[in-house]
Amino acid sequence: MEISLALLLVLVAISDIIHLVQAQSQPGFISLDCGLPANEPSPYSESKTGLRFSSDSKFIQTGEIGRIQTNLENPLKPYTTLRYFPEGTRNCYNLPVDKGRKYLIKAWFRYGNYDGHDIKPMFDLYIGPNLWATVDMQNLDGNSTSEEILHVPSSDSLQICLVKNEGTTPFISSLELRPLGNNSYITQFGSLKLVSRGYYTTSKNYIRYPDDAYDRLWSRLSPSSSLTYISTTSDVSDGGNYNIPKAVGQKAAIPTNASLSLLIQWTPESSNDQYYVYLHLAEIQDLQANETREFSVFLDGNRLSDPIIPKKFEITSMQSLNPRTCGGEECSLKLTRTQRSTLPPLLNAFEIYRVIQFMQPETNETEVVALKSIQDTYKLIRINWQGDPCVPQHLMWDNLTCSNTTISRPPRVTSLNLSSIGLTGTIAAAIQNLTQLEKLDLSNNNLTGEVPKFLGNITPLLFMIARFHRNLSGNDLNGSIPQSLQSKGIELLLHGNPRLCQTKSCTKPQSKDFPVVIVATAASVIILIAVLVLVFVLVFRKKNQYTAMQALQMPPNMPAVVNIENANSHEPLNEIKRRMFTYSEVIKMTNNFQNSLGKGGFGMVYHGFVNGSKQVAVKVLSQSSTQGYKEFKAEVDLLLRVHHTNLVTLVGYSYEGDHLALIYEFLTNGDLKQHLTGKRSRPIINWSSRLGIALEAALGLEYLHMGCTPPMVHRDVKTANILLDDNFKAKLADFGLSRSFQSGIGYQDSTAIAGTPGYLDPEYNHLGRLGEKSDVYSFGIVLLEMITNQPVISQTSENSHITKWVSSKLICGDIIEIMDPNLRKDYDSNSAWRAVELAMSCANPSYSKRPSMSQVINELKECIMCENSRLSNNQGLESRAINIGLDSSVVPKAR
């Protein structure tokens, strides 16, 4: 959005005393005067706004200082100096922020011919690893522009980077961050880039801080003959969460011709652009008893809300609940009076934002901190060691290699080369936090001290997957080699360290080993006895439990529930061993991997047989898998200790060397997604069966949320992870991303955001808040998919997300427009409507407004009862009625 800074000349002056008071009431504000010379005071109070500006020198280590030419100077001091970056491709500011807090971020650029070349630059602006905007000053009439975005940082450090893209020199005049209330500007996903913000006034003033507490800049909208501007001197209150300035609420516009609409138009950059529109309005005229002002809002002919009646002297902020796409080359927003209205529509101000989806995850935060610590330890000054270390790939730091990444999996550092750069001191302790580091080269430096043990601290299963390389040659290390590094799995280079002892004579005297051997032997005997006692107790307890179940005559179809008392419990040792298979057994059961069932994030899945008869599905880890050991371990840990009729059963697992495999029960009807899309010639599932599958999947989730101790959240609920047996009974699968959580609340997940795009809970994605209702959101998307058979994310439709598509159809009020046409109208409309309403409530963007899985189950049973009633009245139909006799109040408990 281009805003001429010269127009800010007319801001109303405020006395210096008031400014000083207001400067103290800017909590969380960051206002950087970029390029402020060291000999000028910092911080200082800007004379027109009272904002407290500081030098940017503490937040960036590169760049040079410039000042715009005197004849182009602006009386607003922060925009007369600038910082420009002739060296390096990417130069970045590192700013302290609150993770999960919504910020308004503004970057100002005033060229002012500071270099005397009179060549306006073009460059890219990044937030972390993602492109925010391209700053193109070459096509501007003036010398200044700005970019503004509403963004929620995913860590406690925010990086704003300027990147060369056309050979010209990037620069910046001012960088400003303003924390916002999290109850405003709520979106389903993505950040919001400002397109336009304006208010209707005959004044020539812009409004910003201190009149606007968030320092939003409200542009004056030019008068038009089609509009009549009105105003009031009465106080107008802000009745919402947007904290609209008083001066904005006191002014408004109405169509001069009362029968016409109030029109706002803008041109989208792309036909796929999605927008959020915010309208701020208050009735500021005294209406007569027979006068009514009521109007509807339409975007390209689609109604955004029910008819609106503005409140008297109180601002109502109306927002679109879902992002909207414009149908043509121009976006058209209309406020149109209703038939019963006697007065034309009214509007005080509006804001329009374009959705930007930042798809590239940042490098693992712990590893970024580790790299910064290594940089500080060795005082490394490298101009390209700025911004995110791994991404985007074309800006990756020198001498680093990183793992491949997806939207839900952040990149990890796998190789670090610091050879021959004059390092001194000991080997930096922060290296141990690069836990995926396969190759480390510290050769040909001046490092001293002992070789640390952590260089060999490798997770056992990861150790089997890759060969690790440690090059410490050509230094001045001393002492002996730690036992952890004396492994055939580690390639260790140590030559050129004359004081480093590499023989057995460096070990402790033999005489001291004797008591250690005695202690170790005694400990082993004690542990063995303890294990035998534990096995005996568990077998005895299991026998008693079985006897008790027989005495109670428990129904044979009751789901088996096995759980643990705490997160660190394990199954009995003999059970764990029973489920372990050798790699040769895996080869045999799959007939040397002859029959492939498909491919997932973990690797290929093969059909096989255990004991020559029991069918199984075998997932084999691919060497290029982005999941690997962590997900393998998580799935084994979970499925060894929890069992439910609607969770897929883990038959066993195998790991030998670099071979990892998970062995599951085989479900003959594949996954639900195949049946909806018709892949692999799967039959279309009728409506009653779909409701049954939804109920069974919900029961599996409810068990994870309420029957496990501690409770679990799946994190990757989707149609591809709902498997169907030969009777179309549903079972949840793929627990590699599952996490435990505190029951009843959402908590801040310290791990990387994980899940599948489209199914991912927007609050979890933005704020890192994880809980059982994160799964509820994903289940809502699954239910919408089952109802509509629409893609979750469409690259061709203007309604790119399935919730948007359903919302657009709900306006018409015709259930046939929403339901999967493959169902051929063979469903009870009441059942269908209830299912749609349930799915949309589950997919509510607000975590707190979603139902629990227990409530979902009860509502699904009501849907099934409606459908069963229809089936019982149609004797000729072959569709089966669904048994919903389960008592939802009886939740499986841990034992």
Per-residue pLDDT, 22 = 39
| In 678-720, alpha helices (H) | 687-702
Distance, CA of 346 to CA of 418 (rounded, Å): 65
Residue 541 has pLDDT above 50, yes or no: no
Answer for the pair 138, 118: CB distance below 8 angstroms, yes or no: no
Per-residue pLDDT, 701 = 93
Distance, CA of 785 to CA of 767 (rounded, Å): 26
The DSSP secondary-structure symbol of 235 reads -
Distance, CA of 416 to CA of 436 (rounded, Å): 11
Q: What angle do CA 803, 806, 811 make, to 5 degrees?
A: 130
Per-residue pLDDT, 238 = 86
Per-residue pLDDT, 751 = 61
Q: What is the mean pLDDT of residues 304-330?
A: 88
Q: How many CB atoms lie within 10 A of CB 592?
A: 8
Which of 116-125, 201-210, 767-776, 793-802 has the lowest average pLDDT? 793-802
Q: Do 5-182 and 200-356 share a fold?
A: yes
Using a pLDDT cut of 70, give the percent of the chain over it: 80
Residue 516 has pLDDT above 60, yes or no: no
619 is in an annotated binding site: yes
Mean pLDDT of the chain: 82
Per-residue pLDDT, 895 = 24
Q: How many CB atoms lie within 10 A of CB 488?
A: 6
Higher pLDDT, 632 or 287: 287
Residue 1 has pLDDT above 60, yes or no: no
Q: Is 469 exposed, middle or buried (CB count within 10 Å of its CB: 0-12, 13-18, 19+)?
A: middle
Confidence grade of residue 488 (pLDDT, cut at 50, 70, 90): low
Residue 659 φ then ψ, to 5° = -105, 115
Which of 400-414, 627-641, 796-810 has the lowest average pLDDT? 627-641
Question: CA torsion, points 592, 597, 600, 605, in degrees to nearest 10?
Answer: -30
CATH of domain 200-356: 2.60.120
Distance, CA of 377 to CA of 363 (rounded, Å): 21
Confidence grade of residue 570 (pLDDT, cut at 50, 70, 90): very low
Higher pLDDT, 302 or 259: 259
Q: Which of 394, 304, 390, 312 is nearest to 352 (CA)?
A: 304
Q: In terms of DSSP bridges, do strands 400-402 and 413-417 run parallel, antiparallel, or are they unpaired? A: antiparallel
Distance, CA of 57 to CA of 223 (rounded, Å): 42
Which of 458-462, 471-475, 824-828 has the lowest average pLDDT? 458-462
Higher pLDDT, 664 or 173: 173
Q: What is the pLDDT of residues 220-266, one digit of tens each?
A: 988 888 999 999 999 999 877 899 999 999 999 999 999 999 999 99
Higher pLDDT, 460 or 105: 105
The catalytic residue among 33, 238, 716, 828 is 716
For residue 52, what is the enclosing H or E element?
A: strand 52-55
Q: Is 33 a catalytic residue?
A: no
Confidence grade of residue 408 (pLDDT, cut at 50, 70, 90): low
Residue 653 has pLDDT above 70, yes or no: yes
Per-residue pLDDT, 885 = 42
Higher pLDDT, 293 or 27: 293
Confidence grade of residue 568 (pLDDT, cut at 50, 70, 90): very low
Per-residue pLDDT, 369 = 92
Whether omega before 310 lies within 30 degrees of 0, making that bond cis, reads: no
Per-residue pLDDT, 407 = 59
Per-residue pLDDT, 746 = 54
Answer for the pair 879, 871: CB distance below 8 angstroms, yes or no: yes
Distance, CA of 390 to CA of 790 (rounded, Å): 35
Per-residue pLDDT, 546 = 38
Cα–Cα separations (whole angstroms), residue 264 to 197, 230, 482? 12, 18, 71
Q: Which two tokens stand for residue 88?
A: 């390096």
Per-residue pLDDT, 74 = 67
| Residue in the structure block whose two tokens are 């029910």 | 306
CATH of domain 672-872: 1.10.510.10
Answer for the pair 441, 466: CB distance below 8 angstroms, yes or no: no
Cα–Cα separations (whole angstroms), residue 678 to 670, 681, 685? 12, 6, 10
Answer for the pair 94, 387: CB distance below 8 angstroms, yes or no: no
Residue 196 has pLDDT above 60, yes or no: yes
- DSSP helix/strand/coil, 637: helix
Residue 307 has pLDDT above 80, yes or no: yes
Confidence grade of residue 204 (pLDDT, cut at 50, 70, 90): confident
The DSSP secondary-structure symbol of 238 reads E
Per-residue pLDDT, 514 = 45
Per-residue pLDDT, 301 = 85
For residue 148, what is the enclosing H or E element?
A: strand 144-151
CATH of domain 5-182: 2.60.120.430
**Homologous superfamily of domain range 365-501:** Ribonuclease Inhibitor (3.80.10.10)
Per-residue pLDDT, 385 = 94
Per-residue pLDDT, 521 = 52
Q: Does the domain made of 573-665 have the CATH classification 3.30.200.20?
A: yes
Identify the top-confidence range among 372-376, 752-756, 770-774: 372-376
Residue 692 has pLDDT above 90, yes or no: yes
Distance, CA of 635 to CA of 641 (rounded, Å): 10
pTM (predicted TM-score):
0.58
Residue 856 φ then ψ, to 5° = -60, -45
Residue 449 has pLDDT above 60, yes or no: yes
Per-residue pLDDT, 879 = 38
Domain boundaries, the chain: 5-182, 200-356, 365-501, 511-552, 573-665, 672-872
Answer for the pair 763, 846: CB distance below 8 angstroms, yes or no: yes
Residue 284 has pLDDT above 70, yes or no: yes
Which of 35-49, 162-176, 571-585, 806-820 has the lowest average pLDDT? 571-585
Per-residue pLDDT, 20 = 34
DSSP sequence for 150-205: EE--SSSEEEEEEEESSSSPPEESEEEEEE--TTSS--SSSEEEEEEEEEE-SS--
Per-residue pLDDT, 471 = 94
- DSSP helix/strand/coil, 479: strand
Distance, CA of 105 to CA of 93 (rounded, Å): 13
Q: What is the pLDDT of residues 123-160, one digit of tens each?
A: 999 999 999 999 999 888 778 999 999 999 988 899 99
Residue 557 φ then ψ, to 5° = -90, 10
Q: What is the mean pLDDT of residues 625-645?
A: 69
Answer for the pair 107, 92: CB distance below 8 angstroms, yes or no: no
